[in-house]
């Protein structure tokens, strides 16, 4: 669905209902709206100075993503995502991303491999300069390019949504608390993934992806959650 950066979306000429949906989804995932908090149409209409029609459509989209639940005669209530939900998502993402890597090894073009390499080099550049936010953005781009190189639209869509949710759920404190040694470790893990792609070594790469995403789960603070 709609997983690009919120600020980009608001200037992308999307329908009003989609823009409201994106804003509300961001507020829920960042914890600005608490679980079980009531969300009324009138409240959103007043906040965004819009009619009820786009708000109702935004609510429908939020319900589809299980971020709110509609109760007859009572209205909409925030369900959000728990720490366990996010931890589970890291584990699901790991399994799907290993599959994406294997397919990328089989299907990627030389141009796609070059793009992945360029994303890694930019990530390395910003890591060395200590520009954490830019390095993290290239981190995301690196993974997205691998999804695309798998040449499977359904898998790309699922992984993009997983990455969006985990990123948005934790990113407010991520840059501030990122440690230099963590960033260097992340870079090392990406280098191993890249070298496995260059060698078209699916076995080595699958293990590199597993190690990286299990490390990501721990670094994000969800290492204590298991299946």
Distance CA 216, CA 227 (A): 16
Higher pLDDT, 10 or 88: 88
Q: What is the pLDDT of residues 84-130, one digit of tens each?
A: 888 999 999 999 999 999 999 999 999 999 999 999 999 999 999 98
Average per-residue pLDDT for the chain? 87
Higher pLDDT, 32 or 55: 55
Q: What is the pLDDT of residues 62-91, one digit of tens each?
A: 999 889 999 998 999 999 788 888 899 999
| Burial of 57: CB neighbours in 10 Å, binned 0-12, 13-18, 19+ | middle
Distance CA 224, CA 217 (A): 9
SS (H, E, C) 102-113: HHHHHHCCHHHH
The model's pTM is 0.81
Domains parsed from the chain with CATH numbers: 6-78 (1.10.10.10), 83-219 (1.20.120.530)
Q: Which pLDDT belongs to residue 183?
A: 87
Question: Considering just the CA atoms, what is the radius of gyration of the chain in Å?
Answer: 19
């Amino acid at each position: 669905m709609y997983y690009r950066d919120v600020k980009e979306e608001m200037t992308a000429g999307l329908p009003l209902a989609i823009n409201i949906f994106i804003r509300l989804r961001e507020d829920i995932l960042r914890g600005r709206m608490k679980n079980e908090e009531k969300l009324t149409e009138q409240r959103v209409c007043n906040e965004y100075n819009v009619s009820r029609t786009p708000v109702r459509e935004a609510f429908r989209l939020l319900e589809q993503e299980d971020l709110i639940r509609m109760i007859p005669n009572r209205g909409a209530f925030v369900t959000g995502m728990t720490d366990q939900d996010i931890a589970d998502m890291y584990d699901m993402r790991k399994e799907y991303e290993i599959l994406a890597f294997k397919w990328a090894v089989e299907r990627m073009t030389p141009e796609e491999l070059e793009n992945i390499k360029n994303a890694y080099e930019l990530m390395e550049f910003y890591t060395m300069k200590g520009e954490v936010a830019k390095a993290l953005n290239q981190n995301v781009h690196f993974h997205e390019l691998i999804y695309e190189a798998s040449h499977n639209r359904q898998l790309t869509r699922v992984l993009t949504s997983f990455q969006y949710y985990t990123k948005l759920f934790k990113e407010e404190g991520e840059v501030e608390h990122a440690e230099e040694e963590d960033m260097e470790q992340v870079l090392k893990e990406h280098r191993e993934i890249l070298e496995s792609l260059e060698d078209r070594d699916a076995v080595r790469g699958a293990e590199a992806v597993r190690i990286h995403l299990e490390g990501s789960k721990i670094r994000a603070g969800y290492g204590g959650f298991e299946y």
